[in-house]
Chain A
Amino acid sequence: MNRIRRIIQTLSLLLINSNYAVLQKFGIYQGKFKQFFAPALNCYACPLARFACPIGTLQHFIAIRQVPYYVGGFILGLGGILGRLPCGFFCPFGFIQELLYKIGSFKIRIGKNYGYLKYILLVIIIPWVYLSGEPMFCKFCPAGTLEGGIPVMLSPMRNDLISLIGWHFYFKLGILIFFIMLFMAVKRPFCRFACPLGAIWGLTNRASLLSMKVDTLRCSKCDECREVCPMDIRIYEDPNHFDCIRCFKCIDVCPENVITASFMGIPVLKKEKIPKGVITGGIK
């Protein structure tokens, strides 16, 4: 399953950022696809971006004091069906974090309670955007710097924008460098502690059609699931925890086969039990 997820993550990265015409003539994509949202946090100032960022658009509507009908419907609808699965399968920034975590040997484990930080951030950001009339989260977002800021500043557009660069650009660059260092030591720290889209989809984990279930009576609490979990959670404590991104890695590694993914109550993913007596070790 993890191999399939990696393929989907790669395809998603390439599809969400598929404005390859930019390689011939530089500019920001302004076609029809920009009215649709990427199913993930992906900066729409990225020259390669073909879809709009849901959080950027949500902030735009809050800033102009209009009800965010369209984007609100998109976020809640996708969350209602899949919960936080898009974070695990489609988010390019999450994918980058997982790849960077593989680098280096210095690892830090941060307690799950810090996951509430993103909700505190969400509660601060929404009124701040409303009162200031500006997309305040974008002003800090490291995904925007990585996907939008740096490529634009390395492009021919640089000549027009260079005079506008000030402390804010370097401030954002500092945030990105801080997070990149964190990515190598902590499992998906941006998704766990800062992402507002992940925070909203995390809430829908409790009510989504796709859900996780753990047979706690048979679970030996060996923590194999936590070891492989990209969000560092113990799924047996709360199968539909707001940080579960439905990557299904825990299903693959569970030695007791007690974890199941269900859609509308019907099990759709479960590791097959190996019947007793069947030799799996090959011919000796």
Chain B
Amino acid sequence: MKLNIHASPFIITIMKRLLAALALILFSFYLITTGKKHEDHIETEFNANLLCLSCIGIE
């Protein structure tokens, strides 16, 4: 039996976009959870607490 399936190009575009977005979000979720697992990594995030001298133009 020959299947004759026609999906409109609009649906295909939306599906492609959804898949790309899903891949991006899953990858970001992996990055965040991996970052959270690294205790020292979280500690280094606290470096943002220091005054960024470069930001204010001091060497």
Instruction: Name A residues whose Cβ lies closer than 8 Å to a Cβ of B.
Output: 28-30, 34-35, 43-45, 52-53, 56-57, 60-61, 64, 66, 68-77, 79-81, 134-135, 138-139, 141, 144-145, 148-149, 152-153, 161, 164-166, 168-173, 204, 206-209, 211, 264-265
Contact = CB atoms under 8 A, between A and B. Distances in A.
B48 A52 contact: yes
B51 interface: yes
Interface in B35-59: 35-36, 38, 41-42, 44-59
B36 A80 contact: no
Contact of A169 (B17, B25, B51, B58): B58
Given A169-B56, A265-B18, 4 more contacts: A44-B52, A45-B51, A66-B44, A73-B29
A264 B48 CA distance: 35
Give the interface residue-count category, chain B: 35 or more
A131 B20 CA distance: 32
Given A64-B44, A166-B59, A73 B54 contact: no
Nearest to B48: A52
Contact of A35 (B14, B33, B46): B46
A76 B21 contact: no
- A-B complex: 4 closest residue pairs judged by Cβ atoms: A70-B35, A73-B31, A69-B35, A77-B28
Contacts of B32: 69-70, 73-74, 77
B36 to A, nearest CB: 7
Contact of B21 (A29, A30, A209): A209
Contacts of B49: 28-30, 34
A148 B24 contact: no
12 contacts: A45-B52, A53-B48, A66-B41, A66-B44, A70-B35, A70-B45, A71-B35, A135-B54, A149-B57, A152-B51, A168-B58, A207-B20
A255 B14 CA distance: 26
A207 to B, nearest CB: 4
Given A69-B41, A70-B31, A80-B28, A138 B46 contact: no
A209 B47 contact: no
A25 B14 CA distance: 53
Contacts of B14: 265
A139 B48 CA distance: 16
Given A57-B48, A77-B32, A80-B28, A149 B56 contact: yes
Contacts of B51: 28, 45, 152
Contacts of A75: 28
B55 A61 contact: no
B48 A164 contact: no
A165 B58 contact: yes
B18 A35 contact: no
Contact of A69 (B38, B46, B54): B38
B31 A44 contact: no
